[in-house]
């Protein structure tokens, strides 16, 4: 295997209550089978669970992240919003920014850029999601869209040391469809080249794939070049499926 799968990240979306931590604890026990620091496991969970989970998992091998954040660095009169200082204070080490489910709710590349800057300032690691819609794919705009998302969201950012990229084609999220091998490696390579173009000195660029990752397609996905891990939605709600995905990757 030529790939180095550095991250397995779960995105729970609107799932979970205080008792669901048992799922993560099971995964944590299974993780002990692997050599320490071989890869990192992160669970991005609802805001309401961050404080409790991060305290309970403090000594564990799993980190906690948020799924979104407001772009303001500090206080603002935005009813119902949470900023990066608040998620950090609650115990989050990571945050997902630019997920397509938030882009359709108004997150533009400019807002995403502000969210990244404010989170980096608060020492939070970013999982930046990019990806084309089905319409854009059909119209052969994938490269143009990926480039635009990368360039605009990283405007004015000097280092990507604390940024992980997640390629999530919108049409593959929650649909059971995944890009074919050729398509996926071509797009991953394109993303990598765009990032390298902008950050000439960047070493370790991490690009994850997200969109209908499950124990049935993981072996095929693992054969795709240049992938550094996965952002997993639906299958992260099952400890068995998540463990299966890890175990099939690192047999």
Active site (catalytic) residues: 99, 168
Q: What distance in Å separates the CA atoms of residue 186 and residue 167, rounded to the nearest whole number? A: 12
Nearer to ligand 13P, 69 or 85 (CB): 69
CA 65, distance to chain mean position in Å, is 10
Q: Which stretch binds ligand 13P (CB under 6 A): 114-122, 195-203, 218-226, 228-236?
A: 228-236
- Part of the chain binding ligand 13P (CB under 6 A), chosen from 22-30, 149-157, 201-209, 210-218: 210-218
How deeply is 227 buried, as exposed, middle or buried, from its count of CB atoms within 10 A (0-12, 13-18, 19+)? Answer: buried
Answer for which of 213, 221, 227, 245 binds ligand 13P (CB under 6 A) is 213
**Stretch binding ligand 13P (CB under 6 A), from 47-55, 111-119, 187-195, 209-217:** 209-217
Q: Is 128 in the site for ligand 13P (CB under 6 A)?
A: no
Using CB under 6 A as the binding rule, whether residue 21 contacts ligand 13P is answered as no
Check binding of 84 to ligand 13P (CB under 6 A).
no
167, 210 Cβ separation under 8 angstroms = yes
CB 212, min distance to ligand 13P, A: 4
* Residue 233 is a binding residue for ligand 13P (CB under 6 A): yes
**Which of 4, 89, 174, 196 is close enough to bind ligand 13P by CB under 6 A?**
174
For residue 232, state whether it binds ligand 13P (rule: CB under 6 A).
yes
Binding residue (CB under 6 A) for ligand 13P from 91, 179, 211, 229: 211
Q: Which residue number, 99 or 192, has a Cβ lying nearer to ligand 13P?
A: 99
Binding mask 94-123 for ligand 13P (x = CB under 6 A): -----x------------------------
CB of 88 to ligand 13P, least distance (A): 21
| Distance set, CA 88 to CA 122, 139, 247 (Å) | 7, 40, 31
Total residues interacting with ligand 13P, rule: CB under 6 A:
14
d(CA 57, CA 42): 11
CA angle 191, 205, 192 (to 5 degrees): 15
DSSP string covering 31-87, please? HTTSPTTSSEEEEE--HHHHHHHHHHTTTSSEEEEES---S-SS----TT---HHHH
**Tokens of residue 242, six digits:** 């998540």
Question: Strands (DSSP E) along the chain, which ranges?
Answer: 7-11, 40-44, 62-66, 94-97, 125-130, 163-167, 207-210, 229-232
Write out the residues near ligand 13P by the rule CB under 6 A: 11, 99, 168, 173-174, 210-213, 231-235
């Amino acid at each position: 295997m030529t790939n180095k799968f550095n991250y397995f990240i779960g995105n729970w979306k609107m799932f979970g209550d205080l008792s669901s931590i048992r799922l993560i604890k099971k995964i944590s026990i299974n993780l002990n089978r692997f050599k320490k620091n071989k890869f990192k496991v992160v669970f991005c969970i609802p805001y309401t669970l961050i404080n409790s989970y991060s305290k309970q998992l403090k000594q564990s091998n799993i980190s906690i992240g948020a799924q979104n954040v407001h772009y303001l660095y500090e206080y603002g009169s935005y009813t119902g919003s949470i900023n990066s200082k608040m998620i950090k204070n609650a115990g989050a080490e990571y945050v997902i920014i630019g997920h397509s489910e938030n882009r359709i709710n108004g997150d533009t590349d400019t807002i995403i850029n502000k969210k990244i800057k404010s989170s980096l300032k608060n020492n939070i690691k970013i999982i930046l999601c990019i990806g084309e819609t089905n319409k854009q794919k059909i119209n052969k705009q994938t490269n143009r869209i990926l480039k635009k998302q990368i360039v605009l969201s990283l405007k004015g950012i000097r280092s990507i040391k604390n940024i992980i990229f997640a390629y999530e084609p919108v049409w593959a999220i929650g649909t059971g469809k995944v890009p074919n091998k050729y398509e996926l490696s071509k797009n991953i390579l394109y993303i990598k080249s765009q990032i390298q173009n902008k950050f000439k000195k960047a070493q370790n660029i991490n690009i994850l794939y997200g969109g209908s990752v499950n124990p049935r397609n993981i072996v095929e996905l693992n054969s795709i070049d240049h992938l550094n891990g996965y952002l997993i939605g639906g299958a992260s709600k099952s400890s068995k499926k998540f463990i299966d995905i890890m175990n099939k990757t690192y047999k």
